[in-house]
A = this chain, B = another copy of it.
Amino acid sequence: MRADQAFSRAAAALAGEDPPRVWSLLVTAFGDLARTEAARLSGPLLTRLLGRVEIRPEAIRTALHRLRRDGWIDASRRGREGSYALTARGLAESRAASPRIYGPAPAPPETWHLLIAGPGAAEGRAAYEAALRLQGSLALGDTVLMRPGPGPAPEAAAGLLVLAVAPGRAPPWLADRLCPPDLAAAAAGFAQAAARARASFGAADGLPPLDVAALRLLAVHGWRRVALRIPVVPPGFLPATWAGEACRAEVSALLAALPRPDPAVLEQAARAP
């Protein structure tokens, strides 16, 4: 199989049916390639890289504009060529998400706290609503939520019954709530896509650096949409058919087969005709 055919088949497997949102694809690209404060990606590189996955230059310009307006990236210009870097905030958020995308499955805490508000009780309702908004809170019903770790601050628990728990296994209604059917389907689907993509260039060798970066982009982007939605919950709380970890393994194997190209090499390739 020719390298070009291998790329097309792998890209088709990873791209899925819906066209990606370009600004989101750019967030993935910066997350994969611009991982330090000094790292910049040039306009020509972004155009060539995203062009390889069928994104038109105007769409890229619009998305870059949006990301600048949102404070995610900064732009600078030397002569006719623009270049882009993550802002401090963009870098911080990118780094915060990175372990969940590139790392192993995070180990959930062993102990949790259950916070229970009185049924229909105005007392404690505000504390309950506040606790519900905290990251990591799992609503188990209209008056019950579970929070990881050492529990909320006492003031946050005023009026609530607080119980330390070591959760075991969740019933199906809770597992389905934590991993809704569309997430379960996305995980299973992308696990297959990653496996198909790896198979398609497994025989080929010497993919050009821009093709490697483009396939990584599609792989990380598709996986990121699953990975960032995976709840960090006790092991027995996910559905029995949950394919999220299989998907993580397939994506890891795929990324290992597509080592991240040196950005300088990519910049050079982007300027070749």
Interface, chain A (partner B; CB < 8 A): 114, 116-119, 121, 123-124, 140-144, 158-168, 170-174, 177
14 contacts between A and B (CB under 8 A): A116-B144, A118-B141, A118-B173, A118-B174, A118-B177, A121-B173, A123-B173, A141-B143, A160-B171, A161-B167, A161-B170, A163-B163, A163-B167, A164-B165
Looking at the assembled complex, report how far the CB atom of A11 sits from the nearest CB atom of chain B, in whole angstroms: 41
Cα of A68 to Cα of B117 in the assembled complex, Å: 47
B166 near A164: Cβ-Cβ < 8 Å: yes
A161 near B174: Cβ-Cβ < 8 Å: yes
In the complex, what residues of B have CB within 8 A of residue A165's CB? 114, 163-165
Looking at the assembled complex, report how far the CB atom of A144 sits from the nearest CB atom of chain B, in whole angstroms: 5
- Apart from A114-B165, A119-B141, A143-B144, list 4 A-B contacts with CB within 8 A: A114-B114, A116-B140, A140-B161, A159-B173
Looking at the assembled complex, report how far the CB atom of A257 sits from the nearest CB atom of chain B, in whole angstroms: 41
Cα of A42 to Cα of B181 in the assembled complex, Å: 72
Cα of A141 to Cα of B116 in the assembled complex, Å: 8
In the complex, what residues of B have CB within 8 A of residue A119's CB? 141-142
Cα of A119 to Cα of B124 in the assembled complex, Å: 19
Q: A118-B177, A141-B143, A143-B141 are in contact. Are A124 and B161 (CB under 8 A)?
A: no
CB-based nearest B residue for A170: B161
A171 near B140: Cβ-Cβ < 8 Å: no
